[in-house]
């Protein structure tokens, strides 16, 4: 191509580009984002809610467009019509402040949804602490539980409100850090809370249990774990119950006692070491007034006030002066006349005159006699106090005096003595609680009490919500009021 021809081509191309760039009919390109799809509807779950005093619920908000598409990238704001009754934070957690009603409003781009909230209190008639959970009963026969739902302990079905546990180190299981109603429509007259099994007794004498071994099945038989109440088979009608580490015992109206569940420590008292799917009679033909199922031992008070124990005896917890296991009831030494008895690894009994005797495991002062020496026979607890009841935990003991005052002693690493420190106590030490106490219950590493006005207090270990105070991963060295209590 000649130089002249080349210059003509370049000139033509340049002219074409200039004309194209100046053409007013060509729209300029932009990088502006499209207009967001507007929110046309907002729904909130739940639509109505009952919240316990100092308890909480979480609101789930779902904004959608006109086509029903969920717009989960939108900002939600919350407000309460009466912050003196219920507050709500930016994450949608509603807390009950005082009894009454309030409306919570969720707003997304000027579109609102409202939730009616009723805040109420709850009064309990009894309370029992297990290994990592607690349950309490109302006058209406409803059971509420809180703590670790591992192996179905809380009886909440599949609907426990939170997950507890170390994700790197299973097991991880649901938990509840406030009283939560047990599943089912049974009406109970009493409850029994153990290491894993929890049971309730109906007015007709039927027993429903939940948790590990709840159905009576044994580990060697392929035990299942019941996450809600399950009727115990056998057709027995019971008048009282007690739940231990992995077994349950009950007394019928004719004072005959039966046990079922694990029997590795001979704790069923039927003369064998065979676990039982259904209740089996305790051997010996004794008539019992009360019975207590412990870790791997069992004790009871028979008609007339004599105490008998059976099962594991490695710490002297049977109180017969020996340390070998017994597969049927043997009398407790000393000839004391007892009104009630409780057993874990330590055993304690309240005599009919209110004097308290303890025996068995005593490494941290659980016996309460000022020493750390295991006792193979009953010894009087120091202090000269007059007790109406006693509750023995895994490593500590608590007693309730006739004046309604709680005293605790023993191991105290998690503050479960309730005395404001983590130091052990070798003798009964008073626990400061507002009001007069009518029930005290010692568990593995926490303790709870119930006052005459139906208010519940708990203290000690609280990693999985065992204290029922609405929080977890926090111990309490002194009694804390349980959610729902006035």
The answer to whether 190 touches 205, Cβ cutoff 8 Å, is: no
| CATH number, domain containing residue 261 | 2.130.10.30
The domain boundary, picked from 99, 120, 141, lies at 120
Contacts of 34 (CB under 8 A, 6+ apart): none
pTM of the predicted protein model: 0.88
The model's pLDDT over 270-284, given as tens digits with 9 standing for 90+, comes to 999 999 989 999 999
Question: Would you say residue 3 lies in a domain?
Answer: no
Where does residue 73 rank: exposed (0-12), middle (13-18), buried (19+ CB within 10 A)? exposed
Neighbour tally for 433: CB within 10 Å: 21
Cα–Cα distance for residue pair 484/51, rounded to 1 Å = 9
What average pLDDT is seen over the chain? 90
Which position has the higher pLDDT, 153 or 166? 153
The model's pLDDT over 342-396, given as tens digits with 9 standing for 90+, comes to 999 999 999 999 999 999 999 999 999 999 999 999 999 999 999 999 999 999 9
The domain boundary, picked from 85, 101, 120, lies at 120
How far CA 161 is from CA of 148, 170, 177, 191, 296, in Å, comes to: 11, 18, 9, 22, 32
Across the chain, which distance is largest between two alpha carbons, in Å? 132
- Domain count across the chain: 2
| CATH number, domain containing residue 93 | 2.60.40.1080
The domain containing residue 103 runs over which residues? 41-120
The answer to whether 475 touches 445, Cβ cutoff 8 Å, is: no
160: confidence class by pLDDT, cuts 50, 70, 90: low
What DSSP line would sit under 366-398, residue for residue? TT-SSS---EEEEEEPTT---EEEEEE-SSEEE
Phi-psi region of 460 (alpha: psi -120 to 50; beta: other; left: phi over 0): left
- For the record, the structure tokens of 432 come out as 């400061």
Where does residue 141 rank: exposed (0-12), middle (13-18), buried (19+ CB within 10 A)? middle
State what percent of residues in the chain have pLDDT above 90.
80
State what percent of residues in the chain have pLDDT above 70.
88
471 CB-side CA count, 13 A: 9
Q: Is 411 helix (H, G, I), strand (E, B) or coil?
A: coil
Question: Would you say residue 164 lies in a domain?
Answer: yes
């Amino acid at each position: 191509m000649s130089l002249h021809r080349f210059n003509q081509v370049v000139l033509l191309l340049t002219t074409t580009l200039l004309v194209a760039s100046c053409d007013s009919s060509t729209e300029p390109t932009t990088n502006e984002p499209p207009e967001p799809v507007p929110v046309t509807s907002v729904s909130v779950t739940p639509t109505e809610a009952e919240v316990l005093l100092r308890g909480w619920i979480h609101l789930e908000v779902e904004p959608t467009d006109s086509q029903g598409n969920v717009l989960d990238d939108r900002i939600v704001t919350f407000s309460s019509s009466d912050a003196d009754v219920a507050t709500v934070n930016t994450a949608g957690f509603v807390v009950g402040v005082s009894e009454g009603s309030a409306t919570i409003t969720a707003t997304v781009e000027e579109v609102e949804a409202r939730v009616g909230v009723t805040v109420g209190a709850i009064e309990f008639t009894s309370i029992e602490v297990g290994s990592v959970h607690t349950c309490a009963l109302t006058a209406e026969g409803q059971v509420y539980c809180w703590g670790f739902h591992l192996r179905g302990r809380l009886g909440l079905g599949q609907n426990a409100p939170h997950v507890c546990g170390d994700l790197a180190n299973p097991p991880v299981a649901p938990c509840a850090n406030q009283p939560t109603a047990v599943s089912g429509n049974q009406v109970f007259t009493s409850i029994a809370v153990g290491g894993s099994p929890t049971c309730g007794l109906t007015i007709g004498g039927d027993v429903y249990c939940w948790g590990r071994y709840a159905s009576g099945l044994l580990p060697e038989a392929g035990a299942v774990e019941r996450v809600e109440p399950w009727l115990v088979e056998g057709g027995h009608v019971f008048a009282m119950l007690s739940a231990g580490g992995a077994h349950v015992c009950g007394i019928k109206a004719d004072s005959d006692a039966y046990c079922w569940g694990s029997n590795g420590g001979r704790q069923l008292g039927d003369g064998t070491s065979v676990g039982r799917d259904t209740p089996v009679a305790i051997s010996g033909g004794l008539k019992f007034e009360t019975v207590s199922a412990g870790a791997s031992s069992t004790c009871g008070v028979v008609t007339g006030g004599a105490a008998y124990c059976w099962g594991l005896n490695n710490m002297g917890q049977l109180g017969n002066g020996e340390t070998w296991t017994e597969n049927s009831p043997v009398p407790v030494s000393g000839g004391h006349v007892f009104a009630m008895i409780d057993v874990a690894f330590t055993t304690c009994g309240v005599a009919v005159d209110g004097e308290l005797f303890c025996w068995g495991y005593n490494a941290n002062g659980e016996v309460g006699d000022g020493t750390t020496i295991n006792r193979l026979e009953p010894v009087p607890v120091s202090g000269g106090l007059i007790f109406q009841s006693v509750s023995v935990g895994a490593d500590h003991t608590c007693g309730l005096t006739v004046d309604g005052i709680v005293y605790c002693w023993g191991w105290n690493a998690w503050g479960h003595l309730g005395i404001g420190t983590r130091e052990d106590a070798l003798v009964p030490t008073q626990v400061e609680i507002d009001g007069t106490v009518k029930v005290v219950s010692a568990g593995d590493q926490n303790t709870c009490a119930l006052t005459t006005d139906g208010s519940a207090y708990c203290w000690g270990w609280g990693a999985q919500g065992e204290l029922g105070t609405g929080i977890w991963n926090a111990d309490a060295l002194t009694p804390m009021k349980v959610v729902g209590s006035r």
